[in-house]
């Protein structure tokens, strides 16, 4: 990765995929409760450093996907929902991916067990000195 081939949107997508993979692997390895949550597209100043030329295709992608911009409070709803769902309820599914306060089936790549394990092992290795 370098400045010439860096694509912020692609890297963002990869980070979201990583969240899903890691949640599933925490469940598999440690039998703990873990889910991944997507807050949605939130109206914040997070993109303030994005050039207008990079922003236009991003906004186009968002609009074409049917997503709407949310307030920070609306964006927090999925995380709060996941954190407060009782483990024994029908609405809580360990290892699931939540979007708009409901379970959403992630892409096929999010179900790759080899990628799950490899990412977990990599994260474990690079954080060893902090554990």
Each residue's pLDDT tens digit, 2-35: 677 777 778 888 999 999 999 999 999 998 999 9
Residues 73, 122: Cα–Cα separation, whole Å:
33
Please give the distance of CA 19 from its chain centroid, rounded to a whole number.
5
Each residue's pLDDT tens digit, 89-119: 989 999 999 999 999 999 999 999 999 999 9
pTM: 0.83
The percentage of residues in the chain with a pLDDT greater than 90, rounded to a whole number, is: 63
Phi, then psi, of 100 in degrees rounded to 5 = 50, 45
Question: How many residues are recorded in the chain?
Answer: 131
Query: Is 120 noted as a catalytic residue in this protein?
Result: no
Domain coordinates in residue numbering, the chain: 8-130
Q: What is the pLDDT of residue 6?
A: 76
Q: What is the pLDDT of residue 96?
A: 96
């Amino acid at each position: 990765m370098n400045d010439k081939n860096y694509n912020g949107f692609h890297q963002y997508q990869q980070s979201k995929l990583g969240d899903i993979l890691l949640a599933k692997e925490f469940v598999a390895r440690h039998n703990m409760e873990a889910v991944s949550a997507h807050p949605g597209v939130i109206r914040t100043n997070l993109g303030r450093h994005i050039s207008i030329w990079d922003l236009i295709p991003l906004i186009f992608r968002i609009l074409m996907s049917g997503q709407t911009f949310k307030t920070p409070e609306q964006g927090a709803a999925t995380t709060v929902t996941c954190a407060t769902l009782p483990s024994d309820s029908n609405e809580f599914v360990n290892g699931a991916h939540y979007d708009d306060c409901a379970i959403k089936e992630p892409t096929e790549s999010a179900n790759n067990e080899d990628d799950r394990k490899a990412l977990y092992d990599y994260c474990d290795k690079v954080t060893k000195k902090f554990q």
